[in-house]
Amino acid sequence: MSTLSETPQTARSARAARPSTQSIEESMQQTAHQVRQQVTESAPLDSRLRVVLLLEVRDGAQQRFLDAYDEMCHKVAAVPGHVSDQLCQSIENPAQWLITSEWESAAPFLAWVDSAAHREMVKPMHGCVNDTRSLRFSIMREMPTSPVAPRGRLQTEPRIGDGVVRHALTFTVRPGSERDVARLLANYQSPEARVDSTTRLCRTSLFMRGNRVVRAVEVQGDLVAALRHVARQPEVRAVEEAINPHLEVDRDLDDPESAREFFMRAALPAVHHRAAGTALPSEAERHALLYPVKPGCGSAVAQLLAREDELAAQDPANPVVESTIFHREDIVMRLIDVRGPLERNARAALGICGDRAPSVLGRLVEHSAADLAEEAALPRFLAECAMTPVTDRHAADY
């Protein structure tokens, strides 16, 4: 049906035992070996989607939970692209429940789950559950069970990953407070990198453009466990409390409902990642580009940039070593690791190397240049998109 939350919430289970230094090093070496291979991870937005929501229902709230689910089912059935829903209860632990839903493709689900209508729809459930976790899968194979063909298409090829999960959070601060916020976010004490025996923080990159903040994280292992681990650290909570007065939308991280609302609005998922077939060179510099998307054009921009990334991967002279595209609604951010000055090759930096790509992008974004197809216009547009780096911390810095 939906994701009630994919963000840090109070964990009920104790932290797993910390691994030995040797096991961490072996794991990191294995991941480094995988990174040597060509990596392309592009979310298949046009294939059928299965959403799995794991819940822990509070004692005594089962009937309220069922009533809330029944009410939501009637509403979500009318959402374009929704196919079916199932509600299941664990045969081992009555407090554990599972909601699965199928969608014609990821695009209509993402449009709905990011909407204000969805946030209102799931509110009755929040008071019934202690913990939730949402997982999303594109459907690749299935055993036919009905002569009626299901709606939507299957994923055709498996995605090749590198063992690292990428995610971002974005929010806006009150105009005029940007300098204070940047100072607070740049000077926090890094939390412990080890989360448990299988999860480790790898890198956190934070950028600002105007009054918008974007924090991109890279995690080896379980993303949700890592986000919860970070949220529990006193040094991180102190910084979050310090920037609260500067936020455009108020939040209270001590209030589960307020925290859930904030992190749902702030989520900026990675929809595409490409890495060259070599390890990230030490001289590569990280940059972030925030594209000024026209209303309603976010998906088109993200898909264009993903296609262009695939074409650019065939050019061994491409200075962009790694590229990750984050997208939600009309927010599109591209995180790139580049060899050499960013301005040296504006086309590659912007992710529009194809002949027609600048003209297509020019119709989908707001920009001061008359025509992005003009080579002279690209450096100016690059400057309009470039975000200001605030901090960039690797695992060794934690």
The answer to whether 66 touches 58, Cβ cutoff 8 Å, is no
- The CATH code of the domain that includes 51 is 3.30.70.100
Q: Which pLDDT value is given to residue 4?
A: 46
Q: Check whether residue 187 and residue 317 sit in a common domain.
A: yes
The answer to whether residue 157 is domain-embedded is no
In a domain, 1, yes or no: no
Q: Report the alpha-carbon distance of residue 336 to residue 324 in Å, rounded.
A: 7
- Per the structure block, which two tokens stand in for 360? 């297509």
Query: In the prediction, which pLDDT does 49 show?
Result: 92
Q: What pLDDT, on a 0 to 100 scale, did the predictor assign at position 371?
A: 83
Q: Which residue type sits at 31?
A: T
Domain-located, residue 11: no
Of 356, 361, 320, nearest to 338 by C-alpha is 320
Same domain, 184 and 271: yes
Domain count, the chain: 2
Is residue 335 in some structural domain? yes
Check residue 260 and give its pLDDT.
78
Is 120 in the same domain as 171? Answer: no
Q: Domain range for residue 227?
A: 164-397
pLDDT at 12: 35
The crossing angle, in degrees rounded to 10, of helices 234-243 and 223-232 is 80
Residue 41, pLDDT score: 63
- CA 275 – CA 270 distance, rounded (Å): 14
For residue 11, give both structure tokens: 């964990």
How far apart CA 208 and CA 387 sit, in angstroms, is 5
Residue 29's pLDDT is what?
A: 38
Q: DSSP string of 248-266? A: SS---TTSHHHHHHHHHHH
Q: Quick one: 223 and 368 in the same domain?
A: yes
Q: Are 281 and 320 in contact (CB under 8 A)?
A: no
Same domain, 186 and 125: no
DSSP β-bridge partners for residue 96: 56
134 and 168 housed in the same domain: no
Crossing angle of helices 234-243 and 178-186, in 10° steps, is 180
For the chain, the distance separating the N- and C-terminal CA atoms, rounded to the nearest angstrom, is: 37
Same-domain pairing of 274 and 340: yes
Show the low-confidence residues of the chain (pLDDT under 50).
2-37
